[in-house]
Amino acid sequence: MRGTGLTVLVAARDEEAWIGRTVTALRRAFPAADVVVADDGSRDRTAAAAAGAGARVLSFPRRGKGQALTLAELECRPGPLLLCDADLVGDLRPLVTAGADLTVARFARHTGGGLGVAKSVARVLIGLRGGRRVAEPLSGQRALSARAREAVFPVAAGFGVETRMTIDALRAGLDVQEVELDLEHRTTGRDIAGFVHRGRQLRDLLLATLAPQARSFRGLRLPLVGATVGIAVPSVAPVAAVGLADDLWSGPERGFRAHLAAGRTTGTLKLVAIPLWALWRTRSFSGAVLVALSANVVNQLDTRPGRALKAYLIGSAALSGRPWRAVAVAVLLAPYDLREMTMLGDAGSNALGAVLGLESVRRLTGLRRASALGMLAVLTLVGERRSLGELIETTPGLRALDSLGRYP
């Protein structure tokens, strides 16, 4: 186990021209610190330049700034943390000596930049959710005490990391300060590239602060976007709603038996509510069972990025690609799910399963419906006794399909 002490953590993507100078300056300012660069899928020589300047480099597939920081933080020694942008020029020592739990650098001089929309929105969101007005909500230069580090990590995904970090620190009752420093960094201009970047920044901070959050199998904190299925396909909105309740308030229970043994859980709510809703919707006992089992099976598959969406799209293709609105949502969400930028959650996976179930009820009768029920019952039993994910990962053809498009 490495000892405690200050760690300087720098998230970088395609910063070959800047990262060497930044790391050199940081090592000079903090000679006893461990300088770590989280390389977020750079396409240039960022990693080599950082290592050449003396940093410890951790390279990840491109997922986003927050994801890179979260994964890198897991590899850092315990103790206080200093976060820094890869293109920074200036002295950050006053952040470390300020004594607050979270100290944020406020730039004394501002050059370039956009119209201030993202920054204004971030200020409003911090005020609404954190109860305090801040001057610099988007600064990536932040010193965290060990207590603050524990409270805010894993951090929010993408460029929403700073805004959500401030909110989390304030809601945890930590001492949050801003310190004005004479710093510079590369600014995005008022061109197409600059406005695209700020658009992504605005999207990420809205998702980080307004969307429900959950932890992935990797430990990343990601926004849950599956409720959009219920918005796009109102017929399954009740299923998305009970799934969202499970996302927000679920306990450690997994599987039918665990939920039934625990009694009043959000999982038990789903076990009761989805079949009753399906019975009302289909006016058929076999139809209700088909919808409920379909919703459960797709939900059981949502344990790795893209898995549930692939299952839905395959099932939808077998049903002639209907309904098209759910297919469109699945196609739009797939790249973000596969790259671990968002998660479906129970709201999305249960709703997509219910969509398949309803379409199957409409199309399948007699022996074909009985066959579908039997297949879903077997998959449900396998998921209860073993794991559908384990079955997929130990079957070569299914494993290859499952990993298609997913980052390692």
pLDDT score of 2 more than 50: no
- Report the candidate in 223, 84, 60 with the shortest Cα–Cα distance to residue 154: 223
pLDDT bucket at 281, cuts 50 / 70 / 90: very high
Interval 162-205: pLDDT, tens? 999 999 999 999 999 999 999 987 766 666 777 777 888 899 99
Of the listed ranges 35-44, 59-68, 198-207, the one predicted with least confidence:
198-207
Judging by DSSP bridges, how do beta strands 221-223 and 81-85 pair with one another?
unpaired
**CA 129/CA 394 separation, integer angstroms:** 44
**CA 131/CA 101 separation, integer angstroms:** 17
Claim: this prediction has a pTM higher than 0.85? yes
The more confident residue out of 295 and 193 is: 295
Supply the CATH classification number for the domain 7-210.
Answer: 3.90.550.10
Domain boundaries, the chain: 7-210, 224-403
- What pLDDT is recorded for position 263? 60
Judged on CB neighbours under 10 Å (0-12, 13-18, 19+), 378 is: exposed
- What pLDDT is recorded for position 340? 94
- Report the candidate in 70, 90, 92 with the shortest Cα–Cα distance to residue 82: 92
Q: Are 78 and 158 in contact (CB under 8 A)?
A: no
pLDDT score of 220 more than 70: yes
- What pLDDT is recorded for position 266? 83
Give Cα separations from 403 to 283, 382, 397 (angstroms): 39, 21, 10
The most confident of 256-270, 303-317, 381-395, by mean pLDDT:
303-317
Average pLDDT, rounded, for the chain:
91
Q: What percent of the chain has pLDDT over 70?
A: 93
- What pLDDT is recorded for position 265? 79
- What pLDDT is recorded for position 1? 30
E strand or H helix that includes residue 11: strand 7-12
- What pLDDT is recorded for position 198? 80
pLDDT score of 112 more than 60: no
Interval 11-26: pLDDT, tens? 999 999 999 999 999 9
- What pLDDT is recorded for position 110? 72
Interval 80-100: pLDDT, tens? 999 999 999 999 999 999 989
Residues, the chain, total? Answer: 408
Q: 164 CB contacts (<8 Å, ≥6 apart)?
A: 152, 155, 156, 205, 208, 209
The more confident residue out of 248 and 309 is: 309
Collapsing DSSP to helix, strand or coil, 221 comes out as strand
Distance of CA 52 to the CA centre of its chain: 32
- Report the candidate in 348, 376, 347 with the shortest Cα–Cα distance to residue 361: 376
Q: In the predicted model, what is the mean pLDDT of residues 394-406?
A: 93
